[in-house]
Amino acid sequence: MRVLLFFVLLALGAPTFAAEGATIQIDNAWAAETPPTAMAGAVYLDLANTGAADRLTGAAVSDEVAGKVELHTTVLDGTVMRMREVEAIDLAAESTTTLEPGGLHVMLIDLKQPLRAGESFPLTLEFENAKTQMVSIPVRKREEMMTPGKAGQDHDHDHDHEGGRGHSH
């Protein structure tokens, strides 16, 4: 009987241990709709780290969504905004890191079809320490990318990717 009680308590305790290890909460995830001919799109989200420092090391989507996924940052190179691939995104302890237009983001390359407002797709996020998480990414209208103070600004950028192919998002 004691052995059975031990295993019941162990089984009931297991979800607690799993929840303690999940220190990254994903909020406000979304992607911008893309024009019909776009070869790339972007995903934005908030990563709330409630534990020790960690790193977002990768992301993945179904082959039906995109051929490749990269982590990117946007930098000002002279007077031109350029996207650059980054190996990982640092997530400071007890803080929230925001992936947003004009900054850090997840880049979907070689889109298999346009991202359409009102649809969604699953995205898997990989972390150095936290468990891999899957999140549903709703697609929003491009106009929703505009934030107060940015309205009317031109969002076309020279993305300077190898292979000479520019990406739009």
pLDDT digits (tens, 9 = 90+) for 79-133: 998 999 999 999 999 999 999 999 999 999 999 999 999 999 999 999 999 999 9
Amino acid occupying residue 43: V
List the structure tokens of 18.
């799993």
With 0.75 as the threshold, say if the pTM is over it. no
Of 59, 61, 153, nearest to 104 by C-alpha is: 59
Domains of the chain in sequence order: 23-142 (2.60.40.1890)
